Amino acid sequence: MHATIQKPIEDIISFLKPGEKVFVVGCDNCAAKCHSGGIPETERMAERLKKRGVDVVGWSVPGPAGVSLCKLANTKKVFDEQHAAEIEKADSFLVLACGQGLHTVIDATGGGFVHPGCDTIFGGETVSEGVILEYCQLCGECITEFTGGLCPLTLCSKALINGPCGGAKDGKCEVDREQDCGWHLIYERLKAAGKLELMDQYQEPKNFARWSRPRKLNVAPTEATFKSLAGAVTVRNDD
């Protein structure tokens, strides 16, 4: 999921000009799970803004339940069928979702002007109710086959790919002594699995061309094409 956290209300207020008519948008998937932009938070944001004198013309968390704001066709349909009049009045949209959802609102409103109501912080795993941890950088070239499924680009604060730096102490990272050294975790995991020899293998420098921005993915049921500065890569899933 895309982990998000709301911006402080003072920052949000500072984005809005006096008299600006605002429509508030949330997301019923990731932002709902992060309590940054689900139905209760979006409704509450509308109230918090009104309380501070902002002209809120409406709010929406496009359904059906659990659907992501970033599904453009659905969001556009909900906006057109349920909120056309309010959206017509709006000068801008405050989006309580990730950066993808933010752009979806631009597309769904034919180029509407948006304000980010959240900071998008990482792609994460919900490890328990209320705790979201980061395990992947979306780098475009997964190397975890050699690290027991643990990503050193994420778990090592220096993103080292050939083993730890000399800074770990008692298995903790030099950056934060509360945080596990990612390479210590990888070592323990490979050792327990009897696969420590995987660590002997030299890892070539990352191909950052696959981590270029912006990237593009075209998908069909049996074929996908990923396009980055490293070129277009097409794979099939039915051979």
Quick check: 208 binds another protein (CB under 8 A)? yes
For helices 72-82 and 99-108, give the axis angle rounded to 10 degrees: 50
Select the residue interacting with another protein from 21, 76, 184, 215 (CB under 8 A).
184
Residue 206 near residue 138, CB atoms below 8 Å: no
Segment interacting with another protein (CB under 8 A) among 25-33, 86-94, 115-123, 171-179: 171-179
Strands 114-116 and 92-96: parallel
Quick check: 161 binds another protein (CB under 8 A)? yes
- Helix ranges (H only) for the chain are 9-15, 30-33, 39-51, 72-82, 84-89, 99-108, 152-155, 182-192
**Cβ closer to another protein: 111 or 205?**
205
**Cβ closer to another protein: 166 or 214?**
166
**Cβ closer to another protein: 133 or 165?**
165
Residues ≥6 apart with Cβ < 8 Å to 239: none
**Cβ closer to another protein: 196 or 230?**
196
Quick check: 81 binds another protein (CB under 8 A)? no
Quick check: 8 binds another protein (CB under 8 A)? no
**Cβ closer to another protein: 31 or 190?**
190
Residue with the two structure tokens 């704001």: 69
Rounded Cα distance, 96 and 7, in Å: 9
**Cβ closer to another protein: 8 or 171?**
171
Quick check: 168 binds another protein (CB under 8 A)? yes
Residue 13 near residue 40, CB atoms below 8 Å: no
Classify residue 75 as left (phi > 0), alpha (psi -120 to 50) or beta. Answer: alpha
Report residue 194: phi and psi, to 5°: 70, 30
Segment interacting with another protein (CB under 8 A) among 23-31, 41-49, 127-135, 197-205: 197-205
Total of chain residues touching another protein, rule CB under 8 A? 29
Torsion of CA 49, 51, 56, 58, to 10 degrees: 90
Select the residue interacting with another protein from 205, 214, 221, 231 (CB under 8 A).
205
Q: How far is the CB of 160 from another protein (least distance, A)?
A: 4
Give residues in contact with another protein (CB under 8 A): 157-171, 174-175, 183-184, 187, 196, 199-200, 202-206, 208
